[in-house]
Amino acid sequence: MECTGQNSSLGNHTALVEFILIGFSDVPNFQELLFGVFLIIYVFILMGNSLIILLTKVDTSLQTPMYFFLMNFSMLEICYVSVTVPRLLIDLCRQYGNISLLACAIQMFLFLILVDTECFILTAMAYDRYVAICSPLLYPVIMNDRLCIQLAVACWTTAVPMHTMFISVLFSSTFCGCNQLNHFFCDAPPVVQLICGDAFRVKMLLYMITALVASIPSFLIIASYVKIVSAILKLPSATGRAKAFSTCCSHLTVVTLFFGSGIIVYFKSMTGRLTGIDKFLSLFYTILIPMLNPIIYCLRNKDVMVALGKFLQKWNVL
């Protein structure tokens, strides 16, 4: 049964050694169905993103900065879902979600780093589209191999120091009372709510990191698209405008889905207890969006579809 209140047993200061992930235990009759659905989604995510990585490696027409970042994005999505979904599948099988503090800290650390990395890679992809549309003649010079690698490395490593500090501060705190997390993985907001005594310092640190990671990429992406839209509207040809918009549509769709659901969940959950709707939104941006990404980038991208057609044709010949 779920605990009531933030710390229902504040009087009991016995330090906790593990958490219990409630997950979807409130719907016991659907455990097997949920296991099957999440397993299918997980396999689809692995296959879809692996296919994108493979296509960008074997097809020379996709070996451009735009698809270099898409390959990084697909690699990230595989890592991203692998931090949460396998554990969720195991918990659905064994009908309980006990997780040690160490395992919780590791899962949270990896998840937070990968969330931030996704924000940064989406920002790098927006910058790539900005240069391609606003400075097409200088695009090969600006987006050279060296800059692309530097941007990718920065995207993958920038979040590590921030969350190393946050995880150290969070898990050096004492947890007591209720040890149940109304979630399907160790996310930061519900764990922060279980800290004994004054959690103001940890909450403010989480607010600052979340605001920083959400605001700077959002501002840069919006600024890029303001410039992009302005440049596209100046194009004399309707065909040229349609083609330019189509190269940005997939990226903009993913940005809207990911940032929209993520920001709502984090800022809402840090102001109160996690509800069923919040858990669904978390499910949306941790599992469902990664499932949609291969579909969005394949079906709405002619270059990828052409490369996929050539790959399948070659495979059939072999």
Residue 6 lies in a domain: no
Residue 246 lies in a domain: yes
The distance of Cα 75 from the centroid of its chain, to the nearest Å, equals 12
Residue 4 lies in a domain: no
Q: What does the alpha-carbon distance between residue 303 and residue 297 come to, in Å, rounded to a whole number?
A: 10
Gap between the terminal Cα atoms of the chain: 57
Residue 2 lies in a domain: no
Residue 12 lies in a domain: no
Q: How do the pLDDT tens digits run along the chain, 318 residues long?
A: 455 444 444 445 566 778 888 888 777 788 889 899 999 999 999 999 998 999 899 888 888 999 999 999 999 999 999 999 999 999 888 877 789 999 999 999 999 999 999 999 999 999 999 999 999 899 999 999 999 999 999 999 999 999 999 999 999 888 877 788 888 899 888 888 888 877 888 988 988 998 898 889 999 999 999 999 898 888 887 777 777 777 788 888 888 888 877 777 766 665 556 566 667 777 887 888 888 888 887 766 777 888 878 877 777 644
DSSP 225-251: HHHHHHHHHT-S-HHHHHHHHHHHHHH
Q: What does the alpha-carbon distance between residue 150 and residue 154 come to, in Å, rounded to a whole number?
A: 6
Is the CB of residue 241 less than 8 Å from the CB of residue 233? Answer: yes
Residue 262 lies in a domain: yes
Distances from the Cα of 316 to the Cαs of 47, 56, 57, 311, 312, in angstroms? 18, 19, 19, 9, 6
Paired tokens of 191: 């764990």
Residues 6+ apart with CB under 8 A from 169: 201, 202, 205
Residue 3 lies in a domain: no
Instruction: Give how many domains the chain has, as a whole number.
Output: 1
Amino acid at 32: E
- 181: domain CATH number? 1.20.1070.10
**In terms of DSSP bridges, do strands 98-100 and 180-181 run parallel, antiparallel, or are they unpaired?**
unpaired
**Domain encompassing residue 184:** 18-317
3-state helix, strand, coil in the chain (%, to 5): 75, 5, 20
Residue 10 lies in a domain: no
